[in-house]
Structure 1
Amino acid sequence: MTWYSSGYGILFLVLFAIRYLRTVVHAWVFFFRIKSAHLAPEPSFKPADVTVLLPTVLDIDITETLRTIIENKPHQIILLVHENDAAKAQGIKEAVGFKPIMIVAVPKLGRKRLQQVAGIKKTQTSISVFCDDDVRWHPKLLAHLLTPFEDARVGATGTNQRSIRKRHTTVWNFLGACYLERRNFNTMATNYIDGGVSTLSGRTFACRTQIVQGQDFADFLIKDDFLGTRMKPGDDKRYTMRFYAKGWRIQLVYTEEAVLYTQVADDSRFLGQCLRWARSHWQGNLAVVMQQSYWWRRHCWTAYATYLGTLMTPAALVDGGLYHVLSRALEAESSHVQRRALGAFVAWTLVQKTVKIWPHFARYPSDIRFIPAMILFSYAHGIINLWAAFTMTADTWGGRDVYQ
């Protein structure tokens, strides 16, 4: 009897496939199937049809963010601030010299969802673009973000994301870049395969204004209760849920012009960001599974890659368990075969952790020196995931405490 026909051998092969099939399929799709989309010769929507909604608490300098948005020539920018910051926002408007900036003040600090609802009520264009206050846009990002709307079934579009690279890159900045690269890899692949997206990133996305206007949507966005707690982070998951639940498609845009650059913490605050992201994943994914049916009716692959993947944590226990099952399956083999098989498995688990980051290494080969730190952190991140699962109702932002 060969090792793979034994009980432990069959168990190993089944678990290995469940664990790593998505990585293999996503690599094939990401590197060989996804093609850059071209602009429509006569687009139905142009930047002049867009209102950009920018919520901020003005705890950072947003001038550069505004400058890159203005380069895209939108119809209007709605700057959403706390009422105490209205004068400061007016000064910023005058400094950037873009007249079509509307300042909308809300009474509650750090309530991003309330800010967005206030901005949506003021929006008069057919397309709304939501973005964070620490992003940088390509000068042609808006034009490329609008291209998928040529399909009347598309309700929202998203971007390809990279971190703003520091002059002297630290391991923290590299790990933040890795997070975004992994996200690009997974979401672009699932979106290509079955149209699914786990979460349409709130860093920047576009949607048809008609979907998000009205009191019904405002209530849906604001009254987001999870285990008895009113959620503050995770608004982008709420938008994603709404688009799919109403039957709209979401299309991600994979072109260099649609690259969005964003800030990631370059110190230990990155751990706080990871914890918030992990909590949002648990909260949002559980909410979708419990409240919606689209995830299994229309996006079966995304359901497997995202929701089942969430349960495969921590990675150290999962990979360790696979190693143990394989070693039991190999007990009847010679020591030489055991060493080679177990060595091949260990090599696979380490190499596959780098696959999603290959585009980053192609741009910055010097960052290869961080691979050991990346692998160690990928296993340590399992602890963060577990802690996030046990503290899902916490609603702090992590990297920036916008409620203070």
Structure 2
Amino acid sequence: MVLYRYVRLVVNCVSHWTFKPIPLPEEPTLTSRDVTIIIPTIDGEGADFRQTLRTCLNTDPYEIILVTIDANLKRLTDLAHSVSSSRIRVFSVTHANKRRQMCRALPEVITKITVFADDDVIWPPKILDWILAAFEKPDIGGVGTCQRLRRAEHPSIWGFLGALYLERRNFEISATTHLDGGVSCLSGRTVAYRTHILQDPEFTYGFTHEYWLGKYQLNTDDDNFITRWMVSHGWKTYVQYCREAELQTTLEDNPKFLKQCLRWSRSNWRSNLTSMFREGHIWRQQPWCAYALHLATLSPPAIIGDGLLVFLLCQATLDWDEKSRQYALGALLLWMLISKFVKLLGHFIRYPEDVLLLPVSILFGYFHGVIKVYALFSLNVVRTVKVHPNFFREGADMDDGFRMIRLAEYEKMGAGLISEAPRQQKGVSALCGRSLGTA
């Protein structure tokens, strides 16, 4: 366990610090006009959302498609027209369901590249150029981005922890991308795919009919599913880790951040277990990513690993003199401190004053182990955390259980989970047109 942790750390450090993004081509075959941006949203109002739309429009895409819920359609349409009536279209679905919202928009896309974005991101002006640079390689099907937390005027402890979460994630995915192109999840905050992959009827059916343990229909974990689809269908992925492709986003800046962490942990458990043991493609196609990211899901909480390491050192040095034992223990503790600091170095270089909060980060890392264990034993929780107040608005899901629906026996049979009946193929338009709201 100790060897695994620190081999992974050293290799990832070297890979991260030597990473170079795919450069802009001299004669690109794709331009921003080959891009359609899809933004699923519930609320669809406010200055932050307007800023998201404006920064997206500044990159000169072909168009932006917004998908909201029926109850908010008129309000979002009015807002879209006030920003850009000719380059934004608005559609709606009955219930807030990100997968179905995404699928509502996909049949409308006519460009070669589709970009999914959250409704709280701020894009740099050249982000599409750098995303498209990776698609110049014909075997790349999905491209992710670098992400930073939008820093508040008066940062809180929760904001600090959220910023470190994104910093740690950037470190890990840039390292694995550099070594074998692998990444455990292309984050849906902003991610691009070749449109024809997403418009394949097989993809659409799988995307809207994913099940966990044959008992629950998943309406969450959308970005995990698409990432696994890329791997299982032979497409390579890439993350453009550079300032030009660095977006800003928001996370909960209050105790609800803990609930976000719980939700992310459950998603990681479900997706990584599926990748490792049910699908298995990662072992052949992305061996280092499987080792460094997927297997890490099974590692014990940090407080157990660190405690065991200290215990073993004390036992191994019982016959040493006291001074030597203190030196050995001090060296170990220093190494452990460095290992927890090095992934976050980029953040502390940008905000050196945050170094004073490093102990908070370490303590939270130990506490996160508790969250991870609790998430493992609550993967089948149907009523998940309510992280967005707009889930209580008219027309939205009144119960977050819609994120993961327990299936009745007859539904399992209809889904082919307990029956060998052949599955009916559904195209994108047919699926969306029948089960979703209209524009």
Which residue of the partner structure matches residue 197 of structure 1? 183
- Superposition TM-score, scaled by structure 2 size: 0.86
Alpha-carbon offset, residue 99 of structure 1:
1.3
Which residue of the partner structure matches residue 74 of structure 1? 61
Alpha-carbon offset, residue 214 of structure 1:
2.8
1:42 alignment partner, one of 16, 27, 49: 27
Distance in 2 of aligned mates of 1:270 and 1:178: 12
- Which runs of structure 2 are paired with 1:47-66 in the superposition (5 Å)? 47-58=32-43, 61=46, 62-66=49-53
Deviates more, 1:204-213 or 1:227-236: 227-236
Distance in 2 of aligned mates of 1:190 and 1:211: 23
Which residue of the partner structure matches residue 254 of structure 2? 267
Q: Work out whether 1:301 is the aligned partner of 2:288.
A: yes
- Which runs of structure 2 are paired with 1:272-351 in the superposition (5 Å)? 272-351=259-338
Q: Secondary structure at the match of 1:53?
A: strand
Which residue of the partner structure matches residue 112 of structure 2? 126
Residue pair 2:231, 2:285 contacting (<8 A) in 1 also: no
Residue pair 1:273, 1:398 contacting (<8 A) in 2 also: no
Alpha-carbon offset, residue 156 of structure 1:
0.8
Q: Work out whether 1:215 is the aligned partner of 2:201.
A: yes
Alpha-carbon offset, residue 335 of structure 1:
1.9
Distance in 1 of aligned mates of 2:203 and 2:297: 28
Which residue of the partner structure matches residue 24 of structure 1? 10
Alpha-carbon offset, residue 322 of structure 1:
1.6
Residue pair 2:45, 2:76 contacting (<8 A) in 1 also: no
- 1:221-242 deviation digits (Å, cap 9, x = unpaired): 1111112111222100000001
Residue pair 1:157, 1:206 contacting (<8 A) in 2 also: yes
Distance in 1 of aligned mates of 2:386 and 2:371: 13
Alpha-carbon offset, residue 98 of structure 1:
4.3
Which residue of the partner structure matches residue 6 of structure 1? none
Total equivalences in the alignment: 388
Q: 1:116 to 1:195 in 2, by over 3 A?
A: same
Q: Secondary structure at the match of 1:270?
A: helix
1:384 alignment partner, one of 368, 371, 376: 371
Q: Work out whether 1:96 is the aligned partner of 2:78.
A: no
Distance in 1 of aligned mates of 2:257 and 2:45: 17
Distance in 2 of aligned mates of 1:392 and 1:68: 37
Distance in 2 of aligned mates of 1:192 and 1:389: 30
Unpaired runs of 5+ in structure 1? 1-14
Q: Secondary structure at the match of 1:206?
A: strand
Which residue of the partner structure matches residue 399 of structure 1? 387
Distance in 2 of aligned mates of 1:254 and 1:302: 16
> What code does the residue aligned with 2:9 have?
T
- 1:249-304 deviation digits (Å, cap 9, x = unpaired): 10110221100111011111111111111111001111112321221112111111
Which residue of the partner structure matches residue 431 of structure 2? none
- 1:346-370 deviation digits (Å, cap 9, x = unpaired): 2211221111111111111111111
> What code does the residue aligned with 2:32 have?
P
Q: 1:98 to 1:47 in 2, by over 3 A?
A: farther
Alpha-carbon offset, residue 24 of structure 1:
1.1
Distance in 1 of aligned mates of 2:234 and 2:341: 36
Which residue of the partner structure matches residue 430 of structure 2? none
Q: Work out whether 1:181 is the aligned partner of 2:167.
A: yes
Alpha-carbon offset, residue 131 of structure 1:
0.9
- 1:104-138 deviation digits (Å, cap 9, x = unpaired): 11122x21000111111111111000111111111
Distance in 2 of aligned mates of 1:67 and 1:260: 14
Distance in 1 of aligned mates of 2:386 and 2:169: 19
- Which runs of structure 2 are paired with 1:226-265 in the superposition (5 Å)? 226-227=212-213, 228-265=215-252
Residue pair 2:36, 2:111 contacting (<8 A) in 1 also: yes
Distance in 2 of aligned mates of 1:36 and 1:398: 37
Deviates more, 1:298-307 or 1:146-155: 298-307
Distance in 2 of aligned mates of 1:98 and 1:369: 48
CA RMSD of aligned residues (A): 1.4
Deviates more, 1:208-217 or 1:55-64: 55-64
Residue pair 2:265, 2:375 contacting (<8 A) in 1 also: yes
Alpha-carbon offset, residue 59 of structure 1:
6.0
Q: Work out whether 1:368 is the aligned partner of 2:355.
A: yes
Q: 1:397 to 1:239 in 2, by over 3 A?
A: farther
> Percent identity at matched positions?
38
Distance in 1 of aligned mates of 2:210 and 2:319: 55
Q: Secondary structure at the match of 2:252?
A: coil
Q: 1:26 to 1:60 in 2, by over 3 A?
A: farther
Deviates more, 1:117-126 or 1:318-327: 318-327
Alpha-carbon offset, residue 248 of structure 1:
0.6
Distance in 1 of aligned mates of 2:22 and 2:226: 24
> What code does the residue aligned with 1:231 have?
L
Distance in 1 of aligned mates of 2:98 and 2:237: 22
